[in-house]
Structure formats: structure tokens, C-alpha cells
Structure 1
Amino acid sequence: MDQSPVTLEWMRSFVRVAERGSFSAAARELGLGQSTVTRHLRDLEGAVGVALLSRTTRRVTVTEEGRRYYRHSLEILRRVEQAREEARGTGAAPSGTIRISCTAALGVRAVSGIVFAFLDAYPGIEIDLGLTDERVDLVREGIDLALRLGPLTDSTLKVRTLGWSRRLLVAAPAYLAAHGRPLVPEHLATHAAVRMSNVAGSDSLPLEGPDGQRHTVRVGGRLRLDHGLAAREALIAGRGIGAAHHWLIDDCLADGRLEAILTDYALPSVPLSLLLVPERAAIGRVRLFIEFLVARIGAVPGFAAPRPSPHGPPPP
């Protein structure tokens, strides 16, 4: 058995291959040639004396021994990075890459501007911003933090509620001119609705009236979409009435491309959560971005700060 000492470079290559499930993807992320990453893994497995990865022509998977070694590798690499930051001292300029995943429409309309400002403030830091409405495995994909709208189920991550996103019912003036303006919630049942195929319950609109009375109206229509920006375009094009986050259509309300309807009735607000990989949360540049984000997210149209009580969103 090869008794060569294990290097951090080998370990980093293994971690990325384990997270990505691909030698080529890991090589691109690390800025190395695929042959170099392959050699790192061969040397690492020779040094530890067990197979860490199972390779086929179609995929790369982590063995049981590899899963245990992966957990230890993450901890070692995190401690090395923290030690480097502490050795450099507080006067050193922060550097490195932050990998972020964000709900797609929110990323385009709100978070990207915060990211641009952060890059201007910290020129030594790079950001890899991935926009998707899919629930990404942060550990497997090597992502430091994620921003997600809606309820969450993953209890293995650190979760922080950043606020609540207000929604409202809107339609284009041309649609309202052609089909009439709903005056009470029950009128919505006779209108076309722009619905989201990737949002549970989008066939029903729960509304609370000024007297506190709750209304749940079933809605229909010929158009379903799985992306918030596409829904925005459909609403502008007059394809129907829809429930939209304020930040998604605030400019359209301002310039008259969309109008709010049934304004005396409120839709439930939606939580915005920050998800963190525990092993990455203590890294200095990640903490910097979180502080920067928290200080600015409240300026996004329609966002309300978290309530002191955990029992629900603030009144709409």
C-alpha cells in the first residue's frame, strides 16, 4: 500500500467529486484538468487503502467508506480555512468564493442587486450564484447557503427566517377591460387565472377580508407555468389574474402595466428562509455576506421583517 501522506489538494478533489458526482464537473470547479483530479483520487485511495468512490461508465457514487471519509474531510478543510483566516488576522482583506443558490425569480429581481453591491464592497471575494426553483442538495452541490421562498422540510441545515414576502392579486388593464373587474372574491371563479405548476395549492386562492372573514376560491385557466418570471410576462400580456409577490411586479404597478385588484382582501405572506450548511456557516466571507444580505433584504419591495413570535407571518 502507498504510504504517501495525504495532501489537502487530494482531499479537496475528493470532496468536490463526491459532491458533484462527476470528475469533469469537479475539475471545472477546481480549475484543474480532469486527468489531474483523477490522479488525485487514485493517489488518495492508495494512501488511505480503501475505495472511496465507485465508478461506472454512467456515474460516480461514494462508497460507505467514502461517506465516512467525506465527513471527516469537510471538517478538516473547514478547520484549515478557519486557521488560515485567523492567521491572516482581522486586517486582511477577505477573499475566496461563496456559492449561493436562490429561488430563480427572486434572484433576478432582488438578490442579484445585493450580490452586485457586495462584490463592489469586497473585491477579493468571488460569488457563484445559481438560480433555480428546484430544492438543491447544498452539501452534495458544494453550496454555502441558499435562499428559499415557502415552507421548508430539510432539518439537517441551519435555517434562519429573513422575512415574509407580501403577495397581491393583479391583472393587466387590457384583461380587466375585456373581462371585467372582480369586486368580491367569489367573482374570481369566473376568470382565467395564471397558475404556478410548481407551487402547491395554486388552484385555490385563500383571502382574508377587512372584517377578518376568510374566503377560499377555486380558480382555473388554460395556462400553468413553473417560473415566476414567465408568470410575470403572462400577467403583463393579459393572460389572466394572478397572485404575485410584490417584488416581482412592483415596477409594473408603478408604470401601469398591471393593476392590483381586490385590494381590501389579503393573501397569506410567504416566508423567505436562509439555509446554511453548518460546516460552512463559520467561514468569514460567508458570515460577511449573510450580514450584508440581512442589512439589505428589508429594502426589497413587499418584504416584512420576521415577527418575534414563531407562530406565523405578520398581518398582510
Structure 2
Amino acid sequence: MDRLTEMEAFATVVDQGGFTDAAKKMGISKSAVSKHVSSLEARLGARLLNRTTRRVSPTEIGLAYYDRARRVLNDAGEADALVTSMQSAPSGLLRISVATDFGVNHLSPVLGDFLSEFSDITVNMVLNNRYVELISEGFDMAIRIGELEDSTLRARKLTETSRRMVAAPGYFEQYGRPEKIDDLNEHKLLHYSNQANSAVWKLTAPSGEKRQVRTAGWLTVNDGQSLLNAAISGLGIAYLPSFLYADALEKGLVEEAIPDLPVETQGIYAVYPPGRFTQPKVRAFIDFLVNSFAEKGPDVW
């Protein structure tokens, strides 16, 4: 007889507390269930069930076997579900969390192409600048930039962004250009307020030494695009990712503050809850983003 069927019959008898209910659960006859369990006991050379006229209960050996058998059956069920899931067409509501700056500038423009390709998927994209708890807040995935704090999530790298200090040419004409990290103490720095430790710029000196600069300055904003606009207006120096400043830098609206410093880079990731397999809608969107950003970053945006 099939070993997995024998296991299933035995485990179902334990779960249901008897052969009659187990037969109903499995959709086979009571005699067939009994035959499967007897065959399993004969093969193992051990009695797994105590049978009386009133009840059926596992023996000590049967209980130990049940724990392992149930795990095997659960794994087999998940394997079947995996195959079914991977073959099914992506569909359903896809709820995404993404930082406002990246979402507005780079995710929104490609959503139309994604929805055209996957017409059975609907998207709810939530733009915010806070760390969301994916599972408890009901998100299927998030786009995160920089070091990943939650190691329990699964992640796939989409691309990279560099970070530079930039300001308008007019600002440098008025206040001078800093030549080294220590000179930043004499400048007007623009502060991004909505990240942990965002009041500190982590920079690398030409020597490779890691430095930290406190950025309390003229202006504090919780939005990167607003900081870029302030820098373009000549209000001070902003430390921004390339996906925000690249176009302004190319047009000459901003210039790099200290070009000799090593360029810092950060990964941009799609993160999603852990599990044995990925939902088709999530997998489809991540594959789409990997393709969309294949030629982006760290400085090309």
C-alpha cells in the first residue's frame, strides 16, 4: 500500500478520534481506513492505536509516530500547494508600502505597464515615510532603501542608489564650498527628519575613515523631494539619494558639495513576509521591478 496514504489514514483517525469519522473525512469506507492503519502497523511492527468499543486513542509509540507523520503530511500538503500556486496566474489585491520619494518618482511611473501586463491584479500603493510592519498592517510587500533592519523578512535587491551632498551653485557662490568634512560645521545643512538617526550624516573621508556629522540646520523636512527643492533654491546643503538628485545634477541645478569624498551607496530592496513559497502576485511584481530597474542605479536615474 501507499505509505503516505497509510500515514494519512492513521493521522486522521487520531485527529477525528475514531475510524468512522476518519472515513467521512477522507471520503473512503471505514473498512478501507482500518485496512490502511493495519497495514501501517504491520509494516512498522508496532501497535499504534488502542482500540476499544467506545474509543480509539494512540499508544505511546503511536503518539510519537503521529507527531512525525503529521509533519510529513503537512509538508506534502505545502508541496502540493506550492506547485498549484506557482502554476496559477497572478491575481488579487497587491498591497505595497513604499517611501514617498521613491514611490512618486520611480514606482508610480511604471505601475501602468505592470497593470497592463497583469490585468487580474489590483494595486493599493501606500506612500509613507515610516517603517511599517508588513504582516500586522496587512501589506504584501514593501520597497526599502538602505540596510535592512528586519532579518526575518525575505528580500530581493532591485538596484542601488548613491548618496551625495548637493547644493545650488548660487549657494556655493554666497557661502563658499566646503573642502573637507569638518568644514560642514560652518554651512547651512538641510535636515531630513523622518528616519532613525537621520539627524546624523554618515560620511567616509578620503582616507576611508568613517565620520558622522550632525545636521541640525536651517530647515528640517520629512520629505526628500522638498529637501531637494530647498537645495535647488539655495537654502543649504542636502544629503540625498541619487534617485532624487540625478536629474537636477545633470541639469546643473545642484552641484556636489565635496566631490573628493567616496560615494556612499545603498541597496534598494523588495521585502516580503517569510514563507515556504511566494504568492504569484508578489513574485510577478518583484520580477517586473527587477526588469524595470535593470539599467538603473547607482547614479543612473
Unaligned runs of 5+ in 2: 1-73
Q: Output the amino acid matched with 1:276.
A: Y
Deviation, 1:135, is 1.5
Alignment of 1:31-180 (within 5 A): 86=84, 94-180=90-176
Q: What does the per-residue CA deviation read over 1:116-155, in whole Å, with 9 as the maximum and x for residues that have no partner?
A: 2212222232211111111112223321111112333334
Structure index of larger Rg: 2
2:90–2:280: 8 Å Cα contact kept in structure 1?
yes
Work out which of the residue numbers 171, 175, 180 in structure 2 matches 1:184: 180
Deviation, 1:215, is 4.2
Work out which of the residue numbers 225, 241, 248 in structure 2 matches 1:245: 241
2:223 corresponds to 1:227:
yes
Q: Compute the TM-score of the two structures, normalised by the length of structure 1.
A: 0.62
1:245–1:302: 8 Å Cα contact kept in structure 2?
no
Q: Compute the TM-score of the two structures, normalised by the length of structure 2.
A: 0.65
| Alpha-carbon spacing, 1:134–1:281, altered in 2? closer, same or farther (3 Å) | farther
2:159–2:296: 8 Å Cα contact kept in structure 1?
no
CA RMSD of superposed structures (Å): 3.1
Identity %: 32
1:103–1:132: 8 Å Cα contact kept in structure 2?
yes
State how many pairs are aligned: 224
2:130–2:195: 8 Å Cα contact kept in structure 1?
no
Unaligned runs of 5+ in 1: 1-74, 305-316
SS at match of 2:295: coil
2:292 corresponds to 1:290:
no
- The match for 1:61 is none
Work out which of the residue numbers 180, 192, 195 in structure 2 matches 1:199: 195
C-alpha separation in 2, matches of 1:256 and 1:223? 22
C-alpha separation in 1, matches of 2:209 and 2:275? 46
1:172–1:259: 8 Å Cα contact kept in structure 2?
yes
| Alpha-carbon spacing, 1:151–1:213, altered in 2? closer, same or farther (3 Å) | closer
- The match for 2:257 is 261
C-alpha separation in 2, matches of 1:280 and 1:116? 30
Deviation, 1:109, is 1.3
Deviation, 1:93, is 5.5
Q: Output the amino acid matched with 2:183.
A: H
1:157–1:276: 8 Å Cα contact kept in structure 2?
yes
* Runs (4+) off by over 4 Å: none
- Report the more deviating stretch, 227-236 or 244-253: 227-236
C-alpha separation in 1, matches of 2:282 and 2:276? 7
Q: What does the per-residue CA deviation read over 1:239-288, in whole Å, with 9 as the maximum and x for residues that have no partner?
A: 11011100111111122211122111025322323221235952222211
C-alpha separation in 2, matches of 1:183 and 1:127? 47
